[in-house]
Amino acid sequence: MKKKIPDKTVQRLSVYYRCLYFLSQQGTGEISSKSLADLLEMKPDQVRKDLSYFGKFGKRGSGYYVPDLVQQIAKILGLEHGRKVAVVGMGNLGTALAAYKGFEVLGFNVVATFDVSPQKIGKKIRGVMCYGMKDLNKVIKEKNIEMALLTVPPEVVQEVTSAIVAAGIKAILNFSSVTLNVPKGVKASDVDLASELKSLSYFMTTSNR
């Protein structure tokens, strides 16, 4: 029976990857679980436990060899060959996401954007071609796009979700305030910026009391 990996562990694995990637770019050769945990404000036991789900990494007394661990985590996350991504909805947020260079560093390549505005369709936005929604199915298949960042208005988000799922998308990062209804086999994750800001506001309020 396949071992169930906790969602929180997978999320932390992405954080480890980002940190280790930048350490490798700075020339760091080895790092202990304690040093990695300190950088991420975590406990060393948590780091070791998370990584143990996927095998044995590092050596007792010397820690982890950073370049190798970056490659291993990239493989676990399916990033060793990169992932092709589309941004659907080219308002201010969609435009900013399409222009974000950090995606490429972490193994994600935005290869297409989609919108309904005639002023945007057929033009490159931040270097990426914008297509009309009627071309969604064709472009996703031609470019082998696997993931979508969804930044459309709440009133059309479910309709657009159904369309991109029908086109073959299996993973969606949803920036709308609406919880998506997706079929089995499709993963949708919500990013509620307003709620996060409210949480930060609450923290600031209580910390000042």
pLDDT in tens, 90-109: 999 999 999 888 888 778 89
The answer to whether 174 touches 150, Cβ cutoff 8 Å, is: yes
204: in domain: no
Stretches where the chain sits below pLDDT 50 are 1
Q: Which of 34, 49, 76 is the last residue of a domain?
A: 76
The CATH number of the domain holding residue 103 is: 3.40.50.720
Query: Is 209 inside any structural domain?
Result: no
Mark whether 89 and 109 lie in a shared domain.
yes
Give a yes or no: residue 203 inside a domain.
no
16/89 same-domain check: no
What's the domain count of the chain? 2
Residue 176: the pLDDT is: 86
Q: Are 38 and 61 within one domain?
A: yes
The whole-angstrom separation of Cα 90 and Cα 104 is: 19
Per-residue model confidence (pLDDT) at position 1: 45
Alpha-carbon distance values, 52 to 3, 47, 94, 172 (Å): 12, 9, 37, 28
Lookup result for tokens 């490429």: 104
**Measured between alpha carbons, how far is 185 from 41 in angstroms, rounded to an integer?**
34
